[in-house]
């Protein structure tokens, strides 16, 4: 059971042979006071798994995740509008930033302590992005459901100079460690 509405996570899992049902978790993603990026995405991934566990039963295994982009100490979520997307792209232009993804795997019929959690961090170097390029990109639909207002696997790949760390983490899910966690609960590619 995937507790995420992210089409990117669905694609990543499907590309690795996983079969799953989708049951997005609706949680308040407001950051708590003095919460670090790692703490925030870890808390949100666990909350999403727990919310979904409350809706499903039986022998389901739940996978939940949350991703954020961090630049100069600021957590960049999904842009709220065109101006916010431009602000984020200008902030990222010509700089390094981190992408932090945390995930939680939890059997529906087990206590939360039996779950497995983890996180992955990648560093992304953006080339300089001109204002014209940023306006053109932000005028399309791609930036608006992405942390940091860009999709590394989409049209924004032309802005990326380098990625240090797992690329799939930047897309939204570090499949290697998630696959290992799912296997601990008997979930392997091809299972439903």
Task: Enumerate the active-site residues.
Answer: 66
Q: What is the DSSP letter of 84?
A: H
C-alpha atoms less than 13 angstroms from C-alpha of 111 in its C-beta half-sphere:
1
Q: Within 13 Å, how many C-alpha atoms sit on residue 39's CB side? A: 7
Burial of 53 (0-12, 13-18, 19+ CB in 10 A): buried
Distance between CA atoms of residues 41 and 29, nearest Å: 9
* 3-class DSSP string for 155-179: HHHHHEEEEECCHHHHHCCCHHHHH
**Tokens 């925030």 found at:** 40
């Amino acid at each position: 059971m995937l507790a995420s509405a992210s089409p990117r996570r669905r694609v990543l899992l499907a590309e690795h042979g996983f079969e799953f049902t989708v049951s997005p978790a609706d949680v308040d993603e407001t950051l708590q006071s003095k919460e670090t990026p790692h703490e925030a995405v870890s808390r949100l991934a666990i909350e999403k798994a727990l919310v979904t566990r409350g809706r499903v039963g039986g022998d389901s295994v739940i996978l939940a995740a949350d991703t954020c982009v961090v630049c100069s100490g600021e957590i960049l979520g999904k842009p709220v509008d065109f101006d916010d997307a431009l602000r984020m792209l200008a902030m990222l232009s010509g700089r390094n930033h981190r992408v932090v993804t945390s995930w939680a795997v939890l059997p529906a019929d087990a206590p939360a302590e039996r779950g497995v959690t983890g996180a992955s961090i990648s560093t992304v170097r953006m080339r300089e992005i001109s204002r014209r390029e940023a306006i053109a990109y932000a005028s399309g639909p791609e930036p608006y459901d992405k942390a940091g207002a860009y999709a590394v696997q989409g049209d924004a790949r032309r802005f990326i100079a380098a990625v240090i760390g797992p690329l799939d983490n930047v897309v939204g899910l570090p499949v290697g460690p998630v696959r290992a966690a799912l296997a601990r609960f008997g979930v392997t590619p091809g299972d439903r």
